[in-house]
Amino acid sequence: MAKPVELLERPEEATCADSPARRLRPPQRNGLERHFAPTDQVIELTAMPVIGRPLMRAMKSRRFQFLAILPNQIIFWVVIFTGLLGTADPNRNFATAVTWFIWFCMVFVMIVGVGRAWCLMCPFGGFGEWVQRLSFMGRRPRSIGLNLKWPQALSRFGVLPAICAFIALTWAEEFWGIAGPGDPRYTSYMVLFIISFALVMFLVFERRTFCRYLCPLTGLIGTVGAVGMAAGLRTRDRDVCLTCETKDCMRGSERGYPCPWYEWPGSATSNLMCGLCTECVKNCPSNNVGFFVQKPLTSVIAPLRRRVDIAWSVLLLFGLVVFQQVNALPIYANLDGWLNSHTGWAYPNPIDFVGFIAAFALVFAGCVWLLRAVLARREPAPSSGVRKTSSFTSWLMPLAYAFIPLTGSDYLARQLPKFWFSAPKVIASISDPFGFGWNIFGTAHWSGANVSILSANGVVISQVIVVGLGALATLYATMKVLPRDMSRLTPHIGWLRVVVVLTVAAVCAPVAYLYVLMGAAT
Query: Is 4 part of a structural domain of the chain?
Result: no
For residues 284 and 373, state if they share a domain.
no
Q: Mind listing the pLDDT tens digit for each residue in 484-506?
A: 998 888 888 888 889 888 999 99
Is the per-residue pLDDT at 319 higher than 80? yes
Q: What is the pLDDT of residue 1?
A: 36
Mean pLDDT of the 319-335 span: 91
Query: Is 493 part of a structural domain of the chain?
Result: yes
Q: Mind listing the pLDDT tens digit for each residue in 45-65?
A: 888 989 999 999 999 999 999
Q: Mind listing the pLDDT tens digit for each residue in 272-300?
A: 889 999 999 999 999 999 998 888 898 89
> Where among 278, 301, 324 does a domain terminate?
301
- Report how far apart, in Å, the C-alpha atoms of 327 and of each of 98, 336, 425, 452 are: 24, 9, 26, 24
For residues 195 and 114, state if they share a domain.
yes
For residues 263 and 408, state if they share a domain.
no
For residues 410 and 460, state if they share a domain.
yes
Q: Mind listing the pLDDT tens digit for each residue in 160-187?
A: 999 999 999 999 999 999 988 889 999 9
For residues 42 and 157, state if they share a domain.
yes
Mean pLDDT of the 357-382 span: 84
Q: What band does 27 get if pLDDT is binned at 50, 70 and 90?
A: very low
Is the per-residue pLDDT at 148 higher than 70? yes
Is the per-residue pLDDT at 24 higher than 80? no
User: Beta strand pairing status for 230-235 and 42-44?
Assistant: unpaired
Bridge partners (DSSP) of residue 294 are 42
Is the per-residue pLDDT at 403 higher than 80? yes
If one compares 69 and 112, the residue with the highest pLDDT of the two is: 69
Is the per-residue pLDDT at 28 higher than 70? no
> Where among 282, 301, 320 does a domain terminate?
301
Q: What band does 514 get if pLDDT is binned at 50, 70 and 90?
A: very high
Q: What is the pLDDT of residue 31?
A: 38
What DSSP string runs through 360-423? HHHHHHHHHHHHHHHH--BPPP-TT----BPPHHHHHHHHHHHTHHHHHHHHHHHHHHHHHHHT
Mean pLDDT of the 388-409 span: 90
For residues 229 and 107, state if they share a domain.
yes
Mean pLDDT of the 437-454 span: 93
Is the per-residue pLDDT at 8 higher than 70? no
Nearest Cα residue to 174 out of 408, 318, 336, 334 = 336
Is the per-residue pLDDT at 26 higher than 70? no
For residues 407 and 496, state if they share a domain.
yes
For residues 270 and 347, state if they share a domain.
no
Nearest Cα residue to 398 out of 279, 486, 287, 508 = 486
Mean pLDDT of the 114-141 span: 92
Q: What band does 381 get if pLDDT is binned at 50, 70 and 90?
A: low
Domain with 163, as residue range(s), is: 16-27+35-301
Is the per-residue pLDDT at 390 higher than 80? no
For residues 463 and 314, state if they share a domain.
yes
Query: Is 5 part of a structural domain of the chain?
Result: no
What DSSP string runs through 12-63? GG------HHHHHSPPPSSS-HHHHS--S-EEEGGGSTTTHHHHHHHHHSTT
Query: Is 284 part of a structural domain of the chain?
Result: yes
Query: Is 6 part of a structural domain of the chain?
Result: no
Q: What is the pLDDT of residue 34?
A: 42
Is the per-residue pLDDT at 271 higher than 90? no
Q: What band does 23 get if pLDDT is binned at 50, 70 and 90?
A: very low
Please state, for a pLDDT cut of 70, what percent of the chain lies above it. Answer: 90
Q: What is the pLDDT of residue 325?
A: 95
For residues 178 and 275, state if they share a domain.
yes
For residues 438 and 290, state if they share a domain.
no
Radius of gyration of the chain (CA): 24
> Where among 259, 274, 301 does a domain terminate?
301
Q: What is the pLDDT of residue 378?
A: 60
For residues 296 and 340, state if they share a domain.
no
Say how many domains are in the chain: 2
Please state, for a pLDDT cut of 90, what percent of the chain lies above it. Answer: 63
Query: Is 194 part of a structural domain of the chain?
Result: yes
Q: What band does 347 get if pLDDT is binned at 50, 70 and 90?
A: confident
Query: Is 330 part of a structural domain of the chain?
Result: yes
C-alpha span between 394 and 403 (Å, rounded): 16
Query: Is 222 part of a structural domain of the chain?
Result: yes
